[in-house]
Each structure stands twice: as structure tokens, then as C-alpha cells.
Amino acid sequence: MADPWSEIFKRLADRDKVEKRDSEYYQAFAQLSRLLSLSDSASTDRIVKENAHLWEENELLITRLNLQTIRLESADLRAKELTKAIRDQDAQAVKLQNKISLLTQQLVEKNKLLEIVNDEHLISQIQQNVLKDRVGELERELGQLKLTK
């Protein structure tokens, strides 16, 4: 095995060659890193502010969305209630219409019965008048018969 120190010196020499060969790249990278760190701090502040603004805007939009959702659910509930009320009113109207039809039929039947009763009453009055006339004739005949006897 070789001397450990000579091995170390050999590795250090190899490192120095690589560093010299790539030193331009290292310097450019270091300069870029400094520039990025300088611009990053200003950019970071801007990004943080923009992020905070976007966060607030997002919260505001979520609040609006929640309120709109509540309003929509309330409107849906009201619409369902009104629809049910309309159905109930329609059912009530149908019931009342059926009742009106039934009462109208009953009224027609009662009117027919009244006409029949009125006709019978008129017939009775006519018969009564005929009978009165007949009684009057018979009384006159009787009176004439009594006078003639």
C-alpha cells in the first residue's frame, strides 16, 4: 500500500485541478446565487403579500359561496313549501268543485221536485176551482129545485 499522505496529496491535487478547470462555473453559480437571494427577498415579500391577499380573497369568496348556498337552500325550501301549498290548495279546490257539483245536482233534483209539487198544487187548485164551480152549480140547482117544489 502506498503512503497515506501521498494518497491524500494526490487527491488534493486532483481536486485542485478540477476546481481550476471548473472555477468559472463555480464563480458564475456563486454570482447567480447571490443575485437570486437578493431578488428572492424582494420577490418573497411580494409573493407573501400576494399570497396573503389571495388568501383573504379566497376566504371572502368562500364566505360569499356559503351565504349564497344558504340563500339557495332557503329558496329551495321555500319553493318546496309553496309547491306543497299549491298542491294542497289544488286538492282543496278539486274537493270544493266536487262538492259544488254534488250540491248543484241536488239543487236540480230539488227544483224538479218543487216543479212537481207546484204542478200538483196547481192541479189541486184547478180541481178545487172546478169542484167549487160544480158545488156552486149544484147549490143553484138545489135552490131552483127548492123553489120549484
Q: What is the pLDDT of residues 79-129, one digit of tens each?
A: 999 999 999 999 999 999 999 999 999 999 999 999 999 999 999 999 999
Please tell me which residue, 54 or 19, carries the higher pLDDT value.
Answer: 54
Per-residue pLDDT band for 59 (boundaries 50, 70, 90) equals very high
* Rounded-to-integer distance, Cα 91 and Cα 76, Å: 22
Q: Is residue 36 within 8 Å of residue 44, measured between CB atoms? A: no
- The whole-number pLDDT of residue 66 equals 95
Going by pLDDT thresholds of 50, 70 and 90, the confidence category of residue 6 is confident
Alpha helices in the chain (DSSP H): 4-21, 23-148
Closest CA to 53 of 65, 61, 41, 64: 61
Residue bearing the bigger pLDDT, 145 or 91: 91
Q: Which cell is 6 given? A: 501521498
Nearest-angstrom CA–CA distance, 87 and 40: 67
Higher pLDDT, residue 39 or 98 = 98
- Residue of higher predicted confidence among 75 and 14: 75
Distance CA 63, CA 69 (A): 10
